[in-house]
Amino acid sequence: MVARAVSLPGEDGPTTISPLTRMLRRAEVGAAVAAVAVFVFFSLVTESFATPGGVATWLDSAALFGIMAIAVALLMIGGEFDLSAGTMVGSTGLIVGILTTHSGVNVWLAVVLALVFAVVVGAFNGFLVMRTNLPSFIVTLGTFFVLQGLNLALTKAIIGQVAVQGLNAVPGFFDARWLFGSTFSLFGTAFQISVVWWLVLTAVATWILMRTRAGNWIFAVGGAQVSARQVGVPVLRTKIGLFVGTAAAGWLAGMLQLFRTSTVQASTGVGQEFIYIICAVVGGCLLTGGYGSAIGAALGALIYGMTYQGIVFAQWDNNWLKAFLGVMLLAAVLVNTYVRRRVEVSR
Amino acid sequence: MTSTTPAERSPTTATALLEVEKIGKSYGQVHALRGVSATINAAEVTCVLGDNGAGKSTFIKILSGVHPHTTGELRVDGRRTRFASPRQALEAGIATVYQDLAVVPLMPVWRNFFLGSEPTKGIGPLRRLDVAFMRRTTRAELARMGIHLRDVDQPIGTLSGGERQSVAIARAVYFGARVLILDEPTAALGVKQSGVVLKYIVAARDAGLGVVFVTHNPHHAYLVGDRFVLLKRGVMVGGYARTELTLAELTREMAGGAELAALGHELARTDPGTSPPDRWSETDPVGSGPHGLRPLGPPPPHRDIEKESQQGVDT
């Protein structure tokens, strides 16, 4: 290095930052506090919430939403939305269902083909968004309707009804079920395998975000795309990768539901896309991109799962869930906006 | 280690890192820039001055490889070159710090510092960012530029404008820049912050870099410049070494001498004694008009610049 040391006056020396400040700066703090509050609340209000059986129930609920919420959170940090993520759960389930029960395709091959389909649709979403410079909200809204229509129309045209059944009669079904639909025992209670997928995915997504180049690029393309491009970040590759990620997560959620129930409805997943976004936002993701965490999104899903099942345990009217979700979303957005303003204000 | 003032050093003995000769750029029939010749030496600051639309951005785009030149010659270390992409210019050691600084405000300083060129360790799925090295290097490189951050984990958006500019400069230096092009680094800054940035320009110069300082402010340019290239409506109207002109001359050249005189006549009131009451002065006791324009004449005893600019925005 040619540079010589140059000292300039008028700067403060380095001082240490307190661990508390460091912790409060994290995106997922709000969600963690809210999750504890929700847990304590339902543990007090209902008998079975804090029992192993209760935990297994709401963890499973949280897992299915969490898998999607994590992928959606990564995409949101990258500055984009995917409204087609929910219908992808249905599409991939239907592909496997129809290919195996109707066309006699091997289960594993069908599972792989469904994944290929998801990847292609995700890449198409990403490519279209980047090429046209249209908001991803609009592009994926289009994909959402196309998939929703195809799910119903093609299913009806091929098998004459709107639900695929009889998967457990297909050879090899129970092999695949071990991977996607089995349970494991812990504290004498059966937990769904989806919980494991959820935890693994949270860990992998956090690793990618915080410790890899790709993670750095995801934050950068969401925070300031032009700047990212100027310093050599592969913007197109990063964004397409994120869209492929949400589509692939849709495939995983689709497989988890399909192999557990051995049936799939043509309308599966419709209307869920906003719940994923809410989970991500409650977990600290900014709607404008560039900020958020995978752990936060997982916590957002946990809050959703606990509330969803907690209301059932308490035997309340299920409609309270929606009202609660709305309040959570508003509170989270207000907190996030406050955080962002504090971060962006120049000294 | 001693820092010298520009006048004390002899610019001619330095090796030319980058030379342009009668360089120009046309977009079809439109000449965006014509006939610019300049030499950028190591450990020198070359100022490119011009009004809006003078061709400063086109000049930067040629040097940084964003748009290749269409006429003239560009030489790096004496060899004729033509940059087809910003990447090529970077590889030749020419780094550009744009006005928006190419930083991501919400990301920590250390992530911004290495963005796009992140060092990693480990292989396969364990290949990961070398976070400790990134943090340490960021802190050390910034300290070298005289910035001592409390915390390299703070989002870069929380730094002051001058500090952000300095991080961008430090980053360019660290990644091997020999020529540093700064696009209007002081344009959006206040007096104090501009001073900070000018110090870093000098620091980069003393570190042996050839600095191209693009600005429309002759006062800032004269404080640090060794050479001055003046552009006007896409044509080079003058090239001077520091010894060849004074600040007053530079300012006059910049303002466009004759044009300013004409403007003075236009703005001067034909008959101050009988003119109707100044409509600005009704709302503004200081007498400043919108956008800081004031009728020519004896200046008021006290000018509150802060207040003026605020009122300029309000009107």
**Cross-chain residue pair B107–A212, CB shorter than 8 Å:** no
Tokens in use for B291? 């956008």
| DSSP 3-state of B177 | coil
Which B positions 177-236 lie with beta carbon below 8 A of chain A? 199-200, 203, 206-209
**Cross-chain residue pair B128–A343, CB shorter than 8 Å:** no
**Cross-chain residue pair A6–B207, CB shorter than 8 Å:** yes
Q: For residues B154 and B217, state if they share a domain.
A: yes
Nearest residue in chain B measured CA to CA from A7: B146
Which B positions 51-110 lie with beta carbon below 8 A of chain A? 86-87, 98, 100-107
Please indicate, yes or no, if residue B145 is contained in any of the structural domains. Answer: yes
Please indicate, yes or no, if residue B128 is contained in any of the structural domains. Answer: yes
**Cross-chain residue pair A4–B207, CB shorter than 8 Å:** yes
Gyration radius of chain B's alpha carbons: 22
- Letter for the amino acid at A129? V
Angle between helices A107-132 and A235-261 (to 10 degrees): 150
**Cross-chain residue pair B107–A13, CB shorter than 8 Å:** no
- What is residue A68's predicted lDDT score, i.e. its pLDDT? 94
Whole-angstrom CA distances from B97 to A56, A346, B169, B184, B203 are: 54, 19, 7, 9, 15
Considering CB atoms only, which of B1, B115, B160 is closest to A233? Answer: B115
Please indicate, yes or no, if residue B263 is contained in any of the structural domains. Answer: no
Who wins on pLDDT, A270 or B11?
A: A270
- What is residue B2's predicted lDDT score, i.e. its pLDDT? 45
Distance CA(A39)–CA(A304), nearest Å, equals: 11
- Letter for the amino acid at A88? M
Considering CB atoms only, which of A22, A226, A346 is closest to B157? Answer: A346
Q: For residues B292 and B240, state if they share a domain.
A: no
Q: For residues B206 and B278, state if they share a domain.
A: no
Q: What is the DSSP letter of B92?
A: T
Q: Which domains does chain A have, with CATH numbers?
A: 29-333 (1.10.3470)
- What is residue A52's predicted lDDT score, i.e. its pLDDT? 87
Domain extent for B297: 268-314
Q: For residues B197 and B276, state if they share a domain.
A: no
Separation of first and last alpha carbons in chain A: 32
Residue A108: exposure state from Cβ atoms within 10 A (0-12, 13-18, ≥19): middle
Please indicate, yes or no, if residue B42 is contained in any of the structural domains. Answer: yes
The C-alpha of A15 sits at a distance from chain B's nearest C-alpha, in angstroms, of 5
Which B positions 231-290 lie with beta carbon below 8 A of chain A? none
Contact list, A15 vs chain B (CB under 8 Å): 150
Residue A175: exposure state from Cβ atoms within 10 A (0-12, 13-18, ≥19): exposed
**Cross-chain residue pair B144–A3, CB shorter than 8 Å:** yes
Q: Is the ipTM of this complex over 0.85?
A: no
- Letter for the amino acid at A122? G
Distance CA(A177)–CA(A181), nearest Å, equals: 5
> Apex CA A38: angle with CA A330 and CA A275, to 5°?
45
The rounded Cα A337 to chain-centroid distance in angstroms is: 21
Q: For residues B117 and B175, state if they share a domain.
A: yes
Tokens in use for B129? 């960012």
Contact at 8 Å (CB) between A284 and A77? no
**Residue in the structure block whose two tokens are 């600290």:** A284
CB atoms near residue B238 (< 10 Å): 16
**Residue in the structure block whose two tokens are 């001498």:** B257
Contact list, A232 vs chain B (CB under 8 Å): 87, 116-117
CB atoms near residue A79 (< 10 Å): 26
CATH number for position B94: 3.40.50.300
Work out the average pLDDT over B52-81. 87
Nearest residue in chain B measured CA to CA from A231: B116
Q: For residues B201 and B303, state if they share a domain.
A: no
Considering CB atoms only, which of B100, B129, B160 is closest to A216? Answer: B129
Distance CA(A169)–CA(A65), nearest Å, equals: 28
**Cross-chain residue pair B160–A346, CB shorter than 8 Å:** yes
Tell me phi and psi for residue A75, to 5 degrees: -65, -40
A:B CB pairs within 8 Å: 129
Contact list, B100 vs chain A (CB under 8 Å): 224, 226-227
- In DSSP terms, B235 is beta-bridged to B34, B232
> Apex CA B12: angle with CA B7 and CA B13, to 5°?
105
Distance CA(B17)–CA(B144), nearest Å, equals: 23
Please indicate, yes or no, if residue B28 is contained in any of the structural domains. Answer: yes
Q: For residues B73 and B24, state if they share a domain.
A: yes
- In DSSP terms, B48 is beta-bridged to B214, B229
Q: Which residues of A touch B (CB under 8 A)?
A: 1-8, 11-15, 17, 22, 25, 207, 211-213, 215-216, 219-220, 223-224, 226-228, 230-233, 286, 290-291, 340, 343-347
- What is residue B3's predicted lDDT score, i.e. its pLDDT? 47
Cα–Cα nearest to A86, from A236, A335, A269: A269
Please indicate, yes or no, if residue B3 is contained in any of the structural domains. Answer: no
Cα–Cα nearest to A87, from A98, A95, A77: A95
Task: Kindly tell me the number of DSSP H helices and DSSP E strands found in chain B.
Answer: 10, 12
Query: Within 13 Å, how many C-alpha atoms sit on residue B171's CB side?
Result: 26
Which B positions 110-129 lie with beta carbon below 8 A of chain A? 111, 114-118, 120, 127-129
Q: Does B310 score more than 50 pLDDT? A: no
Whole-angstrom CA distances from B299 to A290, B219, B279, B294, B308 are: 49, 21, 17, 9, 14
Considering CB atoms only, which of A211, A220, A232 is closest to B107? Answer: A220
Biggest distance spanned by C-alpha atoms of chain A: 79
Q: For residues B144 and B289, state if they share a domain.
A: no
The rounded Cα A167 to chain-centroid distance in angstroms is: 27
> Apex CA A166: angle with CA A165 and CA A169, to 5°?
160
Nearest residue in chain B measured CA to CA from A222: B104
Considering CB atoms only, which of A6, A13, A207 is closest to B148? Answer: A13
* Number of domains forming the structure of chain B: 2
Contact list, B208 vs chain A (CB under 8 Å): 2-4
Contact list, A286 vs chain B (CB under 8 Å): 106
**Cross-chain residue pair B106–A2, CB shorter than 8 Å:** no
Which B positions 122-161 lie with beta carbon below 8 A of chain A? 127-129, 131, 139, 143-151, 153, 155, 157-161
Q: For residues B103 and B239, state if they share a domain.
A: yes
Tens of pLDDT, residue by residue over B261-308, are: 677 777 776 655 554 444 444 444 443 434 434 444 444 444 444 444
Which band of pLDDT confidence, cut at 50, 70 and 90, is reported for residue B224? very high
Q: For residues B185 and B286, state if they share a domain.
A: no
Q: For residues B35 and B86, state if they share a domain.
A: yes
Q: For residues B208 and B284, state if they share a domain.
A: no
> Apex CA A134: angle with CA A237 and CA A82, to 5°?
65
Please indicate, yes or no, if residue B262 is contained in any of the structural domains. Answer: no
Residue B182: exposure state from Cβ atoms within 10 A (0-12, 13-18, ≥19): buried
Considering CB atoms only, which of A211, A286, A346 is closest to B129? Answer: A211
Give, for all 347 residues of chain A, the pLDDT tens digit.
333 333 333 334 344 556 666 666 677 888 888 889 889 999 998 888 888 888 999 999 999 999 999 999 999 999 999 999 999 999 999 999 999 888 888 889 999 999 999 999 999 999 999 999 899 999 999 999 999 999 888 988 888 888 888 888 888 888 888 888 888 878 878 888 899 999 999 999 999 999 999 999 999 999 888 888 878 788 899 999 999 999 999 999 999 999 988 888 888 888 888 899 999 998 888 888 888 999 999 999 999 999 989 988 888 888 888 888 888 888 888 887 776 676 655 43
| DSSP 3-state of A8 | coil
Sign of CA dihedral B275, B277, B279, B281: positive
Please indicate, yes or no, if residue B253 is contained in any of the structural domains. Answer: no
